[in-house]
Amino acid sequence: MTGAWNPLPPLTSHDFDIVRRLASDTCGISLHAGKTGLVSSRLERLVRKYRFDSFSEYVRFLGDHRSSPEFSEFIDNLTTNHSGFWREPEHFTFLQQTVLPERAKGIRIWSAACATGEEPYTLAMCCAESRVAASISASDISRTALTAAMRGEYDEARLSALPAGWRNRYFEQDRVTPGHWRVSTTLRASVRFAIVNLLHPVVEAGTFDIIFCRNVMIYFEQLTRDVLVDRLVQQLVPGGYLFTGHSETLLRLPPALHYVQPATYRKS
Ligand SMILES: C[S@@+](CC[C@H](N)C(=O)[O-])C[C@H]1O[C@@H](n2cnc3c(N)ncnc32)[C@H](O)[C@@H]1O
pLDDT tens, per residue, the chain with 268 residues: 445 557 889 999 999 999 999 999 999 999 988 889 999 999 999 999 999 999 999 999 999 999 999 999 999 999 888 999 999 999 999 999 999 999 989 999 999 999 999 999 999 999 999 999 999 999 999 999 999 999 999 999 999 999 999 999 999 998 888 899 999 999 999 999 999 999 998 877 899 999 999 999 999 999 999 999 999 999 999 999 999 999 998 989 999 999 999 999 999 9
Q: Is the pTM here over 0.75, yes or no?
A: yes
Q: How far apart are CA 253 and CA 224, in angstroms?
A: 14
Q: Distance of alpha carbon 68 from its chain centroid, rounded?
A: 20
Helix (H) or strand (E) holding 77: helix 69-78
Q: Measured from the CA of 197, which atom of ligand 1 is nearest?
A: 20
Q: How far apart are CA 42 and CA 37, in angstroms?
A: 9
Q: Evaluate: CB of 217 within 6 angstroms of ligand 1.
A: no
Given the residues 87, 103, 140, 214, the one annotated as active site = 140
How many residues in the chain? 268
Active site residue 42: yes
Q: How far apart are CA 200 and CA 197, in angstroms?
A: 6
Q: Measured from the CA of 196, which atom of ligand 1 is nearest?
A: 21
Q: Which domains does the chain carry?
A: 13-78 (1.10.155.10), 89-267 (3.40.50.150)
Q: How far apart are CA 222 and CA 138, in angstroms?
A: 24
Distance from the CA of 206 to the center of ligand 1, in angstroms? 21
Q: How far apart are CA 212 and CA 241, in angstroms?
A: 8
